[in-house]
Amino acid sequence: MQVLGVLGGNIATAEEEAVAEAVGAMAARCDWAVLTGGGSGVMSAASRGAVEAGGLTLAILPTAFPGGGYPNPWVHLPVFTGAGNARNAFNVLSASLCVAIGGGTGTLSEIALALKNSIPVWCWRSWGIEAPAGGSPADLRIFDSADELLDALEDVMA
């Protein structure tokens, strides 16, 4: 089973959550598991979309035990690490493809870790990254519209 990592913050706009939910649902319909950090916001929305579409969700959690909003109620398989932000590496290293929606510096660290390990990252309303000397990482795609992101995901996951 392929794993889609959905990256994003605990705080998200309604539109970011709607897109994350659509991404999670699409992954589930295409038989991909959805992996998140297990919190609220984008993470909860992606997990909810996957569950409602009949998919499998897992989360690499920063906490050692349930609490503080972790895991969100849509996580099937919680992995409690007690590792705090260090768990970001396990999130991206467990994914075949990562989609970043919004997010703060934790999301930025996940994007960097994924790219460092040649894991493709697709961003919508997230961090735009430009490599020095005008180049860009080969595994990075930035989408201006949610529809373009969803169409590209459908093509790659089908």
Cα distances (Å, whole numbers) of residue 51 to 27, 72, 122: 10, 12, 22
pLDDT the model gives residue 134: 60
Strand order in the sheet with 33-36: 77-80, 57-61, 33-36, 3-7, 97-101, 121-124, 140-143
Bridge partner residues of 128 (DSSP):
none
Q: What is the pLDDT of residues 29-47, one digit of tens each?
A: 999 999 999 999 999 999 9
Bridge partner residues of 33 (DSSP):
3
Which structure tokens are listed for 58? 């897992």
- Please report, in tens digits, the pLDDT of each residue of the chain (158 residues total): 999 999 999 999 999 999 999 999 999 999 999 999 999 999 999 999 999 999 999 999 999 999 999 999 999 999 999 999 999 999 999 999 999 999 999 999 999 999 989 999 999 999 877 766 665 667 899 999 999 999 999 999 99
**Mean of all residue pLDDT scores within the chain:** 94
CA 78 to chain centre: 15
* Tally of CA atoms within 13 A in the half-sphere of 78 that contains its CB: 21
Which structure tokens are listed for 102? 């919004």
pTM > 0.75: yes
pLDDT the model gives residue 139: 86
Question: What's the burial of 21, exposed, middle or buried (CB within 10 Å: 0-12/13-18/19+)?
Answer: buried
